[in-house]
Amino acid sequence: MQCPRCHHNSLKVVDSRPADEGRAIRRRRECENCGYRFTTFERIEQTPLLVIKKNGTREEFNREKIMRGLVRAAEKRPVTMDQMTEIVDKIEHDIRQTGDNEIRSDGIGELVMKYLAGVDDVAYIRFASVYRQFKDMNVFMKEVQEMMAREKDSDATHEK
C-alpha cells in the first residue's frame, strides 16, 4: 500500500479496530516518510452485487455512488460522515441478507429513504425529491405530509 500523499511504501499501522458490525477492520495508518495519517478498511471480498437499472441494464453495486447521493442530500445539514457511512453499510447488509446477487435500483432508493428518514428530515426530502422526481408541488406536499404522519405515529408509539 502507498501513502496517498507522497506515494511512499513504508507505512505503519497506528490503530486497528472492528468496523461495520465486525464485517470489516478499520486501520489508522501513518506514513513513515511524511508522517501523513489516513484510514483504511479491510473487508471480506464477497460475490459482486448487480444493480438492475430502470432501463434493464445491469451494473456493479457501488457504495460510493450511494454515498455521493447521501452527501448531496445532507449538504449543510447536521448529518455526520459516520451516519452516512452507517446508512450505506446498512443498505449493503440488507441487500446481502436477501441472498440475491441482483437488486433493482429502485429498491436501493427505497432503502436509502428508509434509513435517511430516521436521521434528518430535510436530507430525506432532498433525496426523495430527486429520487421520486417530484413533478409538481402537490406531489412534494404529499410526501411531506406522509413523512409528518409517520413522525406523528412514531411519537405516539413512544409516548405509550
Taking only the tens place, the pLDDT of each residue in 15-73 is 999 988 788 899 999 999 999 999 999 988 778 899 999 999 999 999 999 999 999 99
Question: Residue 2 burial by CB count (10 A; 0-12/13-18/19+): exposed, middle or buried?
Answer: exposed
Report the CATH number of the 1-45 domain: 2.20.25
Q: Is the pTM of this model over 0.85?
A: no
Burial pattern 125-143, b for ≥16 Cβ within 10 A else e, equals bbbbeebeebeeeeeeeeb
Instruction: Locate the domains of the chain by residue range.
Output: 1-45, 46-134
- 58's CB contacts (< 8 A; 6+ apart) are 50, 51, 52, 102
Q: What is the pLDDT of residues 99-123, one digit of tens each?
A: 889 999 999 999 999 999 889 989 9
